[in-house]
Chains A and B, each alone.
Chain A
Amino acid sequence: MESLLANFLAKYNYWAYIGLVMIGMYAMIAKRNLVKKIIGMNIVQTAVILFYVSIAAKKGKTIPIIAHGHEDTGHHAVQALDYISPLPHVLMLTAIVVSVATLGVALALAIKVYRQYGTLEEDEIAMRIEEQ
């Protein structure tokens, strides 16, 4: 029980990530409106980015920009222990740009569905497809 409580308090960023994945997936599966599904997709994407960024964090270290780096004072030793890890940040920059591209194409598809069927609720769309 003690270790469970210590576990809980030390890892609270993972609870946020799990909660957000559950909220986003519920929106994608259970909501009938297409725009709500698209918002749920984006919530899942940002939750995964939160997970990666929280892995890279270290307590008490500084941001990955080397101070006084542009002065030519010879190669003073840069300790890898003083900085947080920059590799997940690089991967997540790509992920954010891909998420906005996906959002643009998904909204274009939603507008096209509206143009064709006149509504954005998926049960009404199913009814109108059967009538045709």
Chain B
Amino acid sequence: MIWPVDLIIMVLVMICGIGAIMVRDLLGAGILFGAYSFMMCLLWAIMGAVDVAFTEASVGAGVSTVFLVAAVFRTSRRTKD
């Protein structure tokens, strides 16, 4: 609960979240989504929720990113917005 670390990671979370929806390349959006998951996992680990952080690290930053990249590979990669 050290507040400078908390603040920096929250700012990074917002930047990754905004980046994931603004990027025009869907593969980049998927990778930024993986980075967003990792930052959330760090945030929860700092708040003391170690089980939840473990689950988010394996599920969100691992398997969820792989599913998104696989789906982008099977459909198109460019997007207009």
A96-125 interface bits toward B, Cβ cutoff 8 Å, 1 = contact, 0 = none: 110010011001001100100001110000
What class of interface size applies to chain B in its complex with A?
35 or more
Given contacts A35-B29, A53-B44, A120-B75, whether A63 and B50 have CB atoms under 8 Å apart is yes
Given contacts A36-B79, A93-B55, A120-B75, whether A107 and B67 have CB atoms under 8 Å apart is yes
Count A-side interface residues using an 8 Å CB cutoff: 50
Chain A proximity of B27: nearest CB distance (Å): 10
Given contacts A32-B81, A40-B21, whether A57 and B67 have CB atoms under 8 Å apart is no
Check if A60 sits within 8 Å of B52, measured CB to CB. Answer: no
Given contacts A59-B1, A114-B75, whether A92 and B49 have CB atoms under 8 Å apart is yes
Which chain A residues in 25-51 approach chain B with CB under 8 Å?
26-27, 31-33, 35-36, 38-40, 42-43, 46, 49-50
**Which residues of B are interface residues toward A (Cβ below 8 A)?**
1, 6-7, 10, 13-14, 17-18, 20-21, 26, 29-30, 33, 36-37, 40, 43-44, 47-52, 55-56, 59-60, 63-64, 67-68, 70-72, 74-76, 79-81
**Which residues of A are interface residues toward B (Cβ below 8 A)?**
12-13, 16, 19-20, 23-24, 26-27, 31-33, 35-36, 38-40, 42-43, 46, 49-50, 53-54, 56-65, 84, 89, 92-93, 96-97, 100, 103-104, 107, 110-111, 114, 119-121
